[in-house]
Amino acid sequence: MRHGKIIAALSAAALALAGLAGCGSGEPTTPSTDAPVDGPSGQLEIFSWWTAGSEANGLEALVGVLGEKYPNIEFVNNGAATGGGSGKDVLQTRMAGGQPPDSFQVHAGAEAQDYITAGQLQDVSNLYDEFGLNNAFPQDLVDLLTKDGKIYTIPSNVHRSNVIWADVKALEKAGLSTTDAYYDSMESFIAALETAKAAGFEAPLSMGMTWTQVHLLETVLMADLTPVQYNGLFDGTTDWTGAEVKKALEDFGKLMSYTNADRDSLDWEEALAIALDQKAVFNVMGDWVPGALDARNLVDGTDYLWAPSPGTDGVYGFLADSFGLTTGGPNPDAGKAWLDVISSADGQTAFNKVKGSIPARTDIDLSSFSDYQQSASKSFKNDVIVGSIQHGAAATIAQGNAVNAAVSKFTTSPMAEANLATLQAELAAAFA
């Protein structure tokens, strides 16, 4: 019910996001094992920020499938060292200088449209025919990768941004029970942070560098604005200078005051580790977190708990990764092989099992995936979908950069009322 009502009120771009999960077709299939083919050889160079920890493990699983099917390709990831797409300016500099890799990681939505408009991606619609992908993905997801009827990238996975993770031992230390009630609203969550603080946690909400702060901010916007208002931030129908955004920024400022002072030097996995080491209680981060939890052999429900981030129950903060072929990349045959593997049921199964995301393909049987992933897949189908800002679904690259600059300025100066007003004005300017 909720889904239908919301769709009616959304803009065209937001509509594509809102309808995302509903359009998968195919029946579940068991992935087939592809036999090696002689295929292309030489180096395949990609750009991805899956370079550390659990994300590197996910990429490695995918590269394993590549090696089985295309044994003559030498895989190289000359990617960014930091997560969340925060290092993609390196890629842009390279492409502007005429030195593109063969393929690169790109978020579905506004970010993909930027690269398409810049002429940096090739039309790969023919590969959808060749690899049999025309019914493999939700049509609304493919629409986010399409311009003027041509499809430019192939999605590998779908992630949810608005998730909170809590360490069970830390909850106990903080005198907090394992109830989900803290997450009902921003107010109840802030009360829980106060309780943890009184119990000796100096910074109960663990936090990392600027992009993770922007990530937190988008989840607070999702909490304090209705989905229609949130989606309206990107098509001009919601005023960034309005009272709802002001309240969200105040809440963001309050949450930041419960975070660790060394945050700007930490990427997401290091920030998460603070909670897992019981030096904080909570971490708000996308669902690439399960990959890191699995790598530590931590058990869902015993060692950690998760829930939609405070105030966002029923809302799914959407983002998806995809890959395409660059214009002028050195080894297009190898690039094509990469897209074959990424889009295959084998590739999507191997990768997503490690990464924590759900496959972008709708024909993969999830029964051997984790409970978290099965539940995320249900939420993707049933919740109201809104697009991530940090992860390029709703915001263009320029808008994302401007948001990062404004948030960094705010969180590195004493977070006073006056600075909140500046933050709001700068965010409004970013989307003007």
Q: How many residues bind ligand GAL (CB under 6 A)?
A: 14
Instruction: Tell me if 155 contacts ligand GAL by CB under 6 A.
Output: no
- Token code pair at residue 86: 């925060």
d(CA 70, CA 397): 33
Alpha carbon separation from 3 to 11, 22, 136 (Å, rounded): 14, 10, 23
d(CA 266, CA 331): 35
Which residue from 47, 53, 55, 393 is in contact with ligand GAL, where contact means CB under 6 A?
55
- Find out whether 281 and 167 touch, Cβ atoms under 8 Å: yes
Site for ligand GAL in 369-408 (CB under 6 A): 391
Alpha carbon separation from 427 to 217, 241, 284, 312 (Å, rounded): 11, 8, 21, 21
d(CA 60, CA 57): 5
Instruction: Tell me if 49 contacts ligand GAL by CB under 6 A.
Output: yes
- Find out whether 352 and 54 touch, Cβ atoms under 8 Å: no
Instruction: Tell me if 165 contacts ligand GAL by CB under 6 A.
Output: no
Which residue from 319, 342, 360, 395 is in contact with ligand GAL, where contact means CB under 6 A?
319
- Token code pair at residue 277: 């080491």
Closer residue to ligand GAL (CB): 101 or 253: 101
Least distance from ligand GAL to the Cβ atom of residue 388, Å? 8
Closer residue to ligand GAL (CB): 109 or 308: 109
Residues 6+ apart with CB under 8 A from 32: 345, 346
Instruction: Tell me if 323 contacts ligand GAL by CB under 6 A.
Output: no
Instruction: Tell me if 215 contacts ligand GAL by CB under 6 A.
Output: no
Instruction: Tell me if 104 contacts ligand GAL by CB under 6 A.
Output: no
Least distance from ligand GAL to the Cβ atom of residue 51, Å? 9
Instruction: Tell me if 287 contacts ligand GAL by CB under 6 A.
Output: no
Residue whose pair of structure tokens reads 């998760």 in the numeric block: 306
Which residue from 53, 79, 85, 204 is in contact with ligand GAL, where contact means CB under 6 A?
85
Picking from 353, 375, 417, the residue whose alpha carbon sits closest to that of residue 64 is: 353
User: With CB under 6 A as the contact rule, which of the stretches 79-87, 246-254, 297-305, 359-367 interacts with ligand GAL?
Assistant: 79-87
Instruction: Tell me if 159 contacts ligand GAL by CB under 6 A.
Output: yes
For residue 305, the cross-strand partners are 166
User: With CB under 6 A as the contact rule, which of the stretches 82-90, 219-227, 305-313, 339-347 interacts with ligand GAL?
Assistant: 82-90
Residues 6+ apart with CB under 8 A from 195: 174, 175, 176
Q: Number of C-alpha atoms within 13 angstroms, CB side, residue 167?
A: 24
d(CA 237, CA 77): 40
Least distance from ligand GAL to the Cβ atom of residue 405, Å? 18
Instruction: Tell me if 83 contacts ligand GAL by CB under 6 A.
Output: yes
Which residue from 47, 104, 288, 410 is in contact with ligand GAL, where contact means CB under 6 A?
288
Least distance from ligand GAL to the Cβ atom of residue 261, Å? 23
Instruction: Tell me if 151 contacts ligand GAL by CB under 6 A.
Output: no
Residue ranges binding ligand GAL (CB under 6 A) = 49-50, 55, 83-85, 107, 159, 268, 286, 288, 319, 321, 391
